[in-house]
Every structure is written in C-alpha cells, then in structure tokens.
C-alpha cells in the first residue's frame, strides 16, 4: 500500500463538564488527528496525548513532532500494517504517536479491502457493555447526583476517580445511596504509595470490582505487595505499556485485571497481543478510554468486542464528553454500544463539524 501523503490536523473539543482526576482537571481536549491518504483509500487515527505531559510523558505537540520528524521517515516505502511496529521499533517510546499513525494506516488498509476493524481483530460480539468514568467532584452530593444521572442513562458500571482525601467517603456514599447491586470500581491514577495500604484495605468493605492503578506506574513489585494485602482485585493501567509489561505484571502477581488502552500502548495490534496473553493466563481485561472523539471511540468499541473483554469498559456514549462529536454520535442502548460494521474503523468525520473545531492542518507529502 503506497501512502501519498499524511495530514496532521489539530482540533479543539470542549468537554460538556470539567473532568477531574488525581493528576489534573480537563475542560477541553486539544486533539491531534492523523489522516493517511493512499490511491485507494484514506484512514484516520486519533492521538490520545494530552496538551501537557501530566498523564504520561507524551503531549500533543511532541507527538506531532515525532510523527513528522521520525515516524514518517521510518515507514517502509509500501507499508503493510503488520510491518509498521518493526519499522518504528528503533524509535524509543512515543507509543501514543505510534498508535495514531498505525491506526490511520490500518484504517486505510482495511477500508481499501472492505474489512471492518472488528473482524480484522477477531471480535465475537456485535455490541459491547459500557461503563462510565466519574471524575473527582467538589462535594459528595454533587457526586451522587452525577452517578444517579449516569445510572438513569443506562450505564452498567460506575468508575469513581479517587485520590488521598477523596476515597473512602465517596465510595461509601455511593454504595449506601445506590446499593450493592451497582457494579462499582475506583481508579487512583497512581495517586497512592504502599504506605497507604491500610487505608486502601478499607475499600474491601465495599465489594468493588477492582481498584485501578493505585501505585506508581513503574513499580510492579509494590503492586504485587499491595495485592497480597487487599481483597479488592488490582487492575493495572499506566503500568502496562506493552505485552512485555503485561507478561511481567502477570508473572509477579501485580494484578489480576488489566485495562487495555490502545491509544496509549502503541495501537490495536499491540492491544490484541495483550488481550491474547491475558486470555491465555486467565486475566480479565477491559477497554479503557482517553476522552476520545468518535474516531477513537469507534476503534475502541471494535477492540472491546473481542472475547477476552469480560468487564464493561470506559467506551461510553459520545455525549458523556462532547455536546457535538466529530462523527455521528455513539448512542447508549440498554447499556451497550453497537460495534461499527463499516470498513476500517467504520466511521468518518462529518466535514462541516470537523472544519468548525479545526485549529490547524499540516500536509506532508511522502
């Protein structure tokens, strides 16, 4: 497949409400989109890097520079998606940038072949169950109102963001208000240390599905020690950047569940490798989100339709984050999202909407 050119497009997407986690508050997304053009088709990829390096070392400006200066020159002359990982391997890190470029190439290749991404990955479901991520709030009454709204919309699982000072009390309040039947989990985004183990152990009383990434992303050993002190299952997110990291975590006993975020780990081929590894080792997986637009959401939903994804993910409906998405919106139906059936990722940007939110474009001829 010959690539004739690549467009790097930046868009500004305001969120319907501020989204606060232990590492900061987002009110809008500065999104880098990658469009790959070939004689037969074009494909889209969405970079999940934030505008600042707060969640990870990557950030949107840096991802654009890496794609421009290093990734595009490293591509084979006629790239096949299966060759891209090997071709880009000498460039260390920058998995978000690599994922965006690989996804755009994969989308173009599948569109030319008329094959949906879900089929290519090995999906076995036509719809996927959805959970929702609830950010840190200013008060517990505000949190309870937000959770009530999401349950009324039909979300099948609630995830609460936590941090020191906002953990036991909000979890207890949600349990008392909505009962034990609500699927409930928490996400710390690496906000704790092993010295917090006694406090985290109090979460065991609330029958949570899991606690996600309680400790530092680069410390599998400490997570293994914490796992021995909690009854609540530990799920790793930021710690898992590749199938090799997943294998190490499994071998050490650092987790019993893994959150797979394709845009953060290098793309959908690496995501499938982690899925297959976890399935072979009896580790549950679910698909996390990075506040993606409809382009990234479509690809995530296709991945979440694989057989090993046994827990509701953070895919969510479009309106959870955006009043107007750049694609036709994903709508929640009985707690599920339909898996796109069109070729490639199965969706395309709406031109007028895309133009309205575009802040810059750059065309690179190959």
Catalytic residue IDs: 161, 261
Answer left, alpha or beta for residue 26, where phi above 0 means left and psi between -120 and 50 means alpha: beta
Q: What is the DSSP letter of 39?
A: S
Residue with tokens 């469009």: 35
What gap in Å lies between CA 90 and CA 157, rounded to an integer? Answer: 40
Indicate left, alpha or beta for 337 from its phi (over 0: left) and psi (-120 to 50: alpha).
beta
217 secondary structure, DSSP code = T
Q: Which residues have CB under 8 Å from 359's CB, separation 6+?
A: 10, 11, 12, 30
Which residues lie below 8 Å from residue 279, measured CB to CB, with a gap of 6+?
A: 285, 307, 308
Which two structure tokens, joined as six digits, stand for 270? 């690496």
């Amino acid at each position: 497949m010959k690539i004739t050119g690549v467009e790097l497009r930046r868009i500004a997407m305001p969120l319907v409400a501020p989204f606060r986690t232990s590492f900061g508050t987002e009110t809008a997304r500065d999104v880098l989109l990658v469009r790959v053009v070939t004689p037969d088709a074009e494909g889209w990829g969405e970079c999940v890097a934030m505008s600042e390096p707060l969640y990870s070392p990557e950030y949107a400006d840096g991802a654009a520079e890496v794609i421009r200066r290093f990734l595009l020159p490293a591509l084979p002359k006629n790239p096949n998606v299966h060759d891209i990982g090997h071709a880009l391997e000498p460039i260390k890190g920058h998995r978000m940038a690599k994922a965006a470029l690989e996804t755009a190439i994969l989308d173009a290749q599948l569109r030319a072949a008329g094959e949906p991404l879900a089929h290519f990955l090995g999906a076995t479901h036509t719809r996927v169950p959805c959970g929702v991520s609830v950010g840190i709030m200013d008060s517990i009454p505000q949190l309870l109102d937000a959770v009530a709204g999401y349950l009324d919309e039909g979300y099948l699982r609630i995830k609460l963001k936590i941090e020191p000072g906002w953990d036991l009390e909000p979890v207890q309040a949600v349990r008392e208000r909505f009962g034990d039947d609500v699927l409930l989990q928490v996400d710390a985004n690496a906000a704790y240390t092993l010295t917090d183990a006694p406090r985290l152990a109090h979460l065991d009383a609330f029958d949570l599905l899991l606690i996600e990434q309680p400790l530092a992303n680069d410390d599998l050993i400490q997570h293994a020690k914490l796992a021995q002190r909690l009854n609540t299952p530990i799920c790793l997110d930021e710690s898992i950047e590749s199938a090799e990291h997943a294998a190490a975590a499994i071998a050490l006993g650092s987790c019993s569940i893994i959150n797979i975020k394709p845009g953060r780990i290098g793309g959908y081929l690496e995501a499938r490798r982690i899925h297959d590894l976890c399935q072979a080792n009896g580790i549950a997986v679910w698909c996390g989100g990075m506040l993606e637009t409809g382009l990234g959401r479509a690809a995530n939903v296709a991945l979440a339709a694989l057989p090993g994804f046994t827990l509701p993910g953070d895919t969510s409906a479009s309106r959870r984050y955006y009043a107007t998405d750049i694609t036709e919106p994903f709508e929640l139906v009985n707690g599920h999202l339909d898996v796109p059936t069109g070729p490639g990722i199965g969706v395309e940007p709406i031109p007028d909407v895309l133009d309205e939110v575009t802040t810059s474009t750059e065309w690179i001829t190959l």
